[in-house]
Structure 1
């Protein structure tokens, strides 16, 4: 079973709202929103995300451990390769809690489990790249383009995702007035998890976002993806405009 991460998901949106409260220094409000996300979750995928975020803001290590273990149990119930990208983060968080609680032997076992899920991505796609450029099948996308998030920053990698919705979001945020386009692409060399996304807002690489120093070859064009509501997209543009020097390039 493939579990699709979508920024349009109601629980994902609640968690993003909670993280915005965190960024404003209001952790109590964030915790309330994360608990709301937990209560409104309808499946193991949503519960996995909500439990992770609620656990993350707990000050008591025993409570943080309890909620992180709940998150892991939900993730394991899904049995999805995409969600497994979060296992290392979850096991490491559990180990940190156990270490704080003095259970060093259990912490060591969890750290070993965390390491067992580390490594380069094994995603086989299909892969997508979002842009406003008018390109053709066979064209190569190469590093060196301008960042969608910081003016004047030349990117050392070319970015892509195994999620058409994520590529569509990148197209919407791309500079220019052209038509938003999502191309199907294939990497011509090695690639890695995008460090600007992985283990940042959500555990692991749920958005299946990658980058490479080698070109991407366009093999087709995707015409259907789920776009964010205009108001939410505008908030993301405004948030991006406030960032400065935060891109791992």
Structure 2
């Protein structure tokens, strides 16, 4: 896999209410296949991508986007890099090391209700498709 292309800034989208200085860690269930516990924490250099992740994350909390700082090595996300898109146009990454919360971002674009519904339908199909694989 190619070396990561970015040096930041980086973002993570979630429904968790976190504070500056806290850490996001691997070890939680996948948003896409809930039976899979993730070995990595995922992040992106695109605030829009983090916003999408925040909005489609299961749970009742408000979607949130955080500016994050990797605390260790990271790599291109193999679930999208070259598997779905040549290179890494989504600027998506993953790490086994925690991400430190630097700030909450408030000015990220929200999905329209129609776009959110479309994403929820696509995710429901992925969650029930036994052929859908996540590289963990």
TM-score for the superposition, normalised by structure 1 = 0.50
The answer to whether structure 1 residue 129 and structure 2 residue 12 are counterparts is yes
Q: Deviations over 1:21-59 (max 9, x none)?
A: xxxxxxxxxxxxxxxxxxxxxxxxxxxxxxxxxxxxxxx
Partner of 1:205: 88
Gaps of at least 5 residues in structure 2 are none
Contact 2:30–2:37, Cα closer than 8 Å, also in 1: yes
Instruction: Answer yes or no: is 1:159 the counterpart of 2:25.
Output: no
CA distance in 1, matches of 2:2, 2:83: 17
Give the length in aligned residue pairs.
132
Secondary structure of the 1:202 match is: coil
The structure richer in strand per residue is 2
Match of 1:248 in 2: 135
Q: Aligned residue for 2:119?
A: 233
Distance 2:6 2:21 in 1: 22
1:146 pairs with 2:32:
no
Q: Which has the higher helix share?
A: 1
Q: How does 1:57-206 map to 2 (within 5 A)?
A: 119-206=2-89
- Could you list the runs of 4 or more consecutive aligned residues of structure 1 that deviate by over 6 angstroms after TM superposition? none
**Alpha-carbon distance, 1:208 to partner:** 0.2
Using the TM superposition, name which of 128-137 and 217-226 deviates more: 217-226
The question of whether the paired residues in 1 share the 8 Å contact of 2:26 and 2:98 is answered with yes
Query: Can you list the C-alpha shifts for 1:48-99, whole angstroms capped at 9, x where unaligned?
Result: xxxxxxxxxxxxxxxxxxxxxxxxxxxxxxxxxxxxxxxxxxxxxxxxxxxx
User: Could you tell me whether the CA contact under 8 Å between 1:149 and 1:243 is conserved in 2?
Assistant: no
> What is the SS of the residue equivalent to 2:19?
coil
Structure with bigger RCO (C-alpha 8 Å, 6+ apart): 2
Where 1:221 maps in the other structure, the secondary structure is strand
- RMSD between superposed Cα atoms in Å: 1.6
Deviations 1:104-139 (A, max 9, x none): xxxxxxxxxxxxxx7311301110001101100000
Q: Which runs of 5+ in 1 are unaligned?
A: 1-117
* TM-score normalized with structure 2 length: 0.89
Q: Which segment is superposed worse, 169-178 or 222-231?
A: 222-231
